[in-house]
Amino acid sequence: MIRRAAHADLISVILLARMNAVTRNILLVYAALLPIVNPLGMAPIFAAMTDGYDDGVRRTVAIRVAVNGLVLLMASLFIGSYVLDFFGVSLAAVQVGGGLIVMISGWRILNQQSNLSEKQVPAPASSDTILSKAFYPLTMPLTVGPGSIAVALTLGSTLHEESHMRLIQSALVSTIGIVLIGITIYLCYGYSDVLERLLGATGTSIVVRLSAFILVCIGIQIMFNGANEFYTEMAKNARTALGQH
């Protein structure tokens, strides 16, 4: 009887340790992606781009952006590296091109909001207009841009090196972490109007300008990281060529 109780306690300890490890890994995936996706920081920009639409339309756009972002991150995680290899595109090229798009998008938003306090807010277009923007630019590149795709690609590259059982466990953990990111995106975007009311017109304008400026800086940093990767690869190839001679 004592032996059975000890055996049961040992199983409980092992299961508890396994659950703690899984929870920790889920939080690691979530923490790795959350600062890059930054749904809370992008919420004022989402509110500005959906200004004038009713709450139902905003919620619909928010859930579409969340689903689109989830699909993009999942695709980047599981098949992103294979797609890049198939087309012969390096991660550095994705960073340079994507960083340029992010920088341009941030610059446009910054200019659009430059005279927000003086201009009259036009009547919103039909809901189809804003719904058509749910993928571009609201999902890609404003929410899930090259930075978050690069993180997902990095996480995915480690998955491909694991054994079958570890692969299944890591894939499940990563999927749960990305689903949590999607839920966070929906909550931040779907209720961005609440944040807008709390900040007021002037506060919202200031936050949107700051967010757009940070977006420009993020785009430049991503481009710089890609250019640095190109330089490192070129220097490595040059040293290899010199060594052969």
For the chain, the straight-line distance linking the first and the last C-alpha, in angstroms and rounded, comes to 75
Distance, in Å, from the CA atom of 206 to the CA atom of 200, rounded to the nearest integer, reads: 10
pLDDT score of 93:
81
Q: What are the DSSP E strand ranges found in the chain?
A: none
Distance, in Å, from the CA atom of 163 to the CA atom of 167, rounded to the nearest integer, reads: 6
Token code pair at residue 202: 């002037």
pLDDT score of 21:
67
Ramachandran area for residue 122 (φ above 0: left; ψ -120 to 50: alpha; else beta): beta
CB neighbours (10 Å) of residue 203? 14
pLDDT score of 241:
75
Instruction: Please give the chain's pLDDT, 245 residues, in tens.
Output: 555 555 555 555 555 556 666 787 788 888 878 878 888 888 888 988 888 888 889 999 999 999 999 999 999 888 887 888 888 887 788 778 877 877 887 788 778 744 444 444 455 567 888 888 899 889 988 899 877 887 788 777 666 555 566 667 778 888 999 999 999 999 999 998 887 788 777 877 787 788 788 878 878 887 888 888 888 888 888 787 777 66
Distance, in Å, from the CA atom of 29 to the CA atom of 26, rounded to the nearest integer, reads: 5
Token code pair at residue 109: 């938003």
Distance, in Å, from the CA atom of 152 to the CA atom of 173, rounded to the nearest integer, reads: 13
Distance, in Å, from the CA atom of 76 to the CA atom of 80, rounded to the nearest integer, reads: 4
Distance, in Å, from the CA atom of 129 to the CA atom of 134, rounded to the nearest integer, reads: 9
Q: Whose CA is closest to 214, among 96, 42, 62?
A: 42
The amino acid that residue 149 corresponds to is I
Q: Whose CA is closest to 141, among 94, 84, 174?
A: 94
Half-sphere exposure (Cβ direction) of 210: Cα atoms closer than 13 Å: 10
Half-sphere exposure (Cβ direction) of 150: Cα atoms closer than 13 Å: 21
139 contacts 62 by C-beta, under 8 angstroms: no
3-class DSSP assignment, residue 73: helix
151 contacts 73 by C-beta, under 8 angstroms: no
